Structure 1
Amino acid sequence: MYDVEDFWKFDMRVGLIEEAERVPNSKKLIKLLVDFGREKRVVVTGIADQFSPDDLVGKKMIFVLNLKPKKIMNVESQGMLILAEEDSGKVHLITVDDAVPVGTKVW
């Protein structure tokens, strides 16, 4: 079990996906360029087996920002996209209402 204080350590923010493209030589990876208002970041997500890049562009979604950057297939990912996944492995996008400004803290 985790203490609620552990949860508060995560910096989760609303980001607008401006660009999305498949990562070359990968079946599952999509590289995102995400606007968080004060900055833009590259985030790599492994959902290309269920979504195309075009499905993601223009969507506001929730991201974790204060993780250590991780190099995936020669692309540095500077955050993590939050998704919903069924036990079967089917993934669902969790979008944020257009009225919520980019960069808004999620808790």
Structure 2
Amino acid sequence: MQTIDIEDFSKIDLRIGTILRVENFEKARKPAYKIWVDLGEELGVKKSSAQVTKLYDPENLIGMQVLCVVNFKPRQIADFMSEVLITGFSDPNGAIILTTAERTAPNGAKLH
């Protein structure tokens, strides 16, 4: 494993946000959702494409707080612009387990 300096880590802007809206992403090559995340007053609502269909139904995602990388360049996926990366961990079967907080945090709060 390659090591990095704290300065490298500090370049990644990780923020928590609340999922407001979820739609099936029909045009994605792999099963995915279009997700809208409220990242607080400073950043507003941002869109993301996430391949989390194995463990989550759209209605169960609404209101969930998730950890997002907010300073990657936007990425075009089919006809959808993904503005943030919602983070997660792979389970033994390759399904993604979303990264959340053990308590509610203000939308837009930065990970330290």
Fold agreement, TM-score > 0.5: yes
After TM superposition, the score normalised by the length of structure 2 is 0.84
* Count of residue pairs brought into register by the alignment: 107
Correspondence 1:74 to 2:79: yes
More helix by share: 2
Two-structure CA RMSD over aligned residues (Å): 1.7
CA distance in 2, matches of 1:13, 1:100: 10
CA distance in 2, matches of 1:25, 1:78: 17
Counterpart of 1:4? 6
Percentage identity across paired residues of the two chains: 28
Decide whether the 8 Å contact of 1:20 with 1:57 is kept in 2. Answer: yes
After TM superposition, the score normalised by the length of structure 1 is 0.88
Counterpart of 1:13? 15
Quote how far apart the aligned CAs of 1:28 are.
1.5
- SS of residue paired to 2:23: strand
Map residues 1-107 of structure 1 onto 2, 5 A cutoff. Answer: 1=2, 2-26=4-28, 27-38=30-41, 39-107=44-112
Quote how far apart the aligned CAs of 1:94 are.
2.4
